[in-house]
C-alpha cells in the first residue's frame, strides 16, 4: 500500500495539487502553461462538463465532435511537470481508496501546446514545431531510473559538442510518442529537438546582473546535430513531459507556435493568432482520431 505521506489526497479524496478525481479527466489531455490559455482551447468544445482550479493548475474537461478531452494548465518548469504527470498517473493507475496500483494500467495521450522561439532562420515566426526529442538540461528526471527510456549516445554527443560542465548534471534525451507523432504530423510541422531548461534567465543564457557558467552555450546548441536532428527551440517543460510519460507508460507529444526567431531577430506581428492557429490545428487532428 502506498503511504499517505507519499500519495497525498485532499479531504474530498482528490489528488493534492490538481484537486481532481478519476472521473474528472479524459484519456486525451492537452497541456498548456498559462492558466488563461485553458479557455482559449475549451471555447471550441461542444460541451464542458467539469472545471476546477487550484493554484496554477486549472482543468476543464468536455467534448469536441464526440471526443472527450481534458485541458490543463501546468504552470512553468520541470518541477511542475513532476507534480502534474505523477498525479495524473495516480488518477488512472492507482486505486485511491486502497492505495494500491491497479493490475490493468491505463495509458494517457498527452499533448502540450506552447509558444517558443526558434533558433534557426528557416523556422520562421508563426510556424509550428513538433518536438521529435526532448533534451533535458534541467536534471529533474535524473531523480528517477531513466536508463530504459533515455538515449545515452545522443546525450554523450551533446555533452561532447558543448563541453558540458559535469557539475550541472548530465543532460537527458527522450523521444516523443511515435503514435501521437503520426496523428498530429503534416507538412505544416517542423520537427527537431526541443531543449528544456530548468529556468528562464541564466539556464537559457539570459544575463541581467549575474554572470552565467557558459556564455557560449546557446551558440553551441545552435550548431549541434545528432542523426540529422537539430535543436529547434528552447523552453521549460517538454523533456520532463516526455521522460515521465515514457517511464509511466503514457504517450506524449509537444507542439510549439514559433513567435520569435532569434537567428533573424524577428517577432511575430500577431503571436496570439499563431497560438490560435496551432490550437485549431491540434484540435482538428485530435478530434478526428
Q: What is the pLDDT of residues 84-116, one digit of tens each?
A: 999 999 999 999 999 999 999 999 999 999 988
C-alpha cell belonging to residue 23: 472521473
Name, in order, each residue with C-beta under 8 angstroms of 132's C-beta and a sequence gap of 6 or more: 175, 176, 181, 191, 192, 193, 229
Least confident of 18-27, 134-143, 215-224, 264-273: 264-273
Alpha-helical segments (H) within 106-228: 152-162, 178-184, 217-222
What's the confidence (pLDDT) of residue 150?
97
The label of the residue with cell 511575430 reads 268
What are the residues whose beta carbons fall under 8 Å from the beta carbon of 96, sequence distance 6 or more? 7, 9, 13, 15, 21, 22, 90
- What pLDDT is stored for residue 289 in this prediction? 56
- Of 192, 278, 205, 197, give the one whose Cα is nearest residue 237: 197
Q: Using a pLDDT cut of 70, give the percent of the chain over it.
A: 100
Per-residue pLDDT at 144 exceeds 80: yes
> What's the pLDDT band for 265 if we cut at 50, 70, 90?
confident
Least Cα distance to 164 among 206, 220, 119 occurs for 220
Min mean pLDDT across 97-106, 161-170, 220-229, 262-271 is at 262-271
Q: What is the pLDDT of residue 267?
A: 86
Mean pLDDT of all residues in 108-132: 90
Count CB atoms within 10 A of the CB of residue 101. 13
Percent of the chain with pLDDT strictly greater than 90: 83
pLDDT at 270: 83
83 Rama class: left (phi>0) / alpha (psi -120 to 50) / beta: alpha
For the chain, what is the mean pLDDT? 94
Q: What is the pLDDT of residues 206-254, one digit of tens each?
A: 899 999 999 999 899 999 999 999 999 889 999 999 999 999 999 999 9
Sort 220 into a burial class: Cβ within 10 Å, 0-12 / 13-18 / 19+: middle
Amino acid at each position: 500500500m502506498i503511504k499517505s505521506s507519499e500519495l497525498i489526497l485532499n479531504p474530498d479524496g482528490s489528488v493534492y495539487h490538481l484537486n481532481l478525481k478519476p472521473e474528472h479527466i479524459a484519456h486525451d489531455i492537452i497541456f498548456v502553461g498559462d492558466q488563461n490559455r485553458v479557455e482559449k482551447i475549451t471555447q471550441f468544445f461542444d460541451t464542458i462538463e467539469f472545471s476546477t482550479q487550484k493554484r496554477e493548475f486549472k482543468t476543464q474537461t468536455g467534448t469536441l465532435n464526440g471526443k472527450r478531452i481534458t485541458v490543463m494548465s501546468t504552470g512553468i518548469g520541470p518541477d511542475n511537470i513532476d507534480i502534474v504527470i505523477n498525479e495524473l498517473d495516480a488518477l488512472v493507475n492507482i486505486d485511491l481508496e486502497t492505495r494500491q496500483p491497479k493490475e490493468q494500467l491505463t495509458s494517457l495521450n498527452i499533448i502540450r501546446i506552447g509558444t517558443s522561439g526558434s533558433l534557426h532562420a528557416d523556422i520562421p515566426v508563426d510556424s509550428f514545431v513538433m518536438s521529435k526529442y526532448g533534451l533535458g538540461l534541467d536534471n529533474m528526471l535524473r531523480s528517477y531510473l531513466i536508463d530504459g527510456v533515455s538515449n545515452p549516445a545522443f546525450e554523450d554527443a551533446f555533452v561532447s559538442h558543448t563541453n558540458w560542465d559535469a557539475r550541472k548534471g548530465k543532460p537527458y534525451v527522450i523521444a516523443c510518442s511515435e503514435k501521437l507523432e503520426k496523428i498530429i504530423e503534416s507538412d505544416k510541422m517542423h520537427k527537431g529537438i526541443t531543449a528544456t531548461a530548468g529556468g528562464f534567465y541564466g539556464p537559457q543564457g539570459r544575463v541581467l546582473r549575474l554572470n552565467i557558467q557558459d556564455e557560449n552555450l546557446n551558440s553551441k546548441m545552435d550548431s549541434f546535430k545528432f542523426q540529422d536532428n537539430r535543436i529547434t527551440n528552447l523552453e521549460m517543460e517538454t523533456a520532463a513531459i516526455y521522460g515521465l510519460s515514457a517511464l509511466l507508460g503514457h504517450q506524449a507529444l509537444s507542439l510549439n507556435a514559433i513567435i520569435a526567431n532569434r537567428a533573424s531577430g524577428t517577432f511575430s506581428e500577431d503571436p496570439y493568432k499563431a497560438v490560435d492557429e496551432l490550437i485549431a490545428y491540434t484540435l482538428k487532428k485530435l478530434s478526428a482520431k
